[in-house]
């Protein structure tokens, strides 16, 4: 058996990064909207809260992506 590990190609690494970025944006934005929707239906809060929480989720996603890319750039230097 060959115990050597192959390094992933640049294309595979790039696609993995793209999928992670998309997941962060969709997941965190969707979580904010879902929380706002649930609060509207359960507690009667204004519907605009869904948009506000969705934007907060999007902001968090962009911040997390920024942190990862900044750390990645540091590692490459």
Other C-beta atoms closer than 10 Å to the C-beta of 28 total 20
Asked whether 51 and 39 are in contact (CB, 8 A), the reply is: no
pLDDT of residue 14: 86
pLDDT per residue as tens digits for the range 25-64: 999 999 999 999 999 999 999 999 999 999 999 999 999 9
> 3-class secondary structure for 5-23?
CCCCCHHHHHHHHHHHHHH
Weakest mean pLDDT among 3-7, 12-16, 30-34, 37-41 = 3-7
Tokens of residue 69, six digits: 């890319």
Domains of the chain: which residue ranges? 23-76
């Amino acid at each position: 058996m060959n115990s050597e590990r192959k390094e992933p190609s640049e294309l595979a690494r790039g696609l993995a990064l793209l999928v992670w970025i998309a997941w962060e944006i969709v997941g965190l934005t969707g979580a904010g909207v879902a929380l706002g929707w649930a609060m509207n239906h359960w507690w009667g809060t204004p519907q605009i809260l869904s948009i506000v929480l969705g934007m907060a989720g999007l902001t968090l996603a962009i911040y997390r992506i920024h942190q990862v890319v900044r750390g990645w750039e540091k590692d490459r230097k």
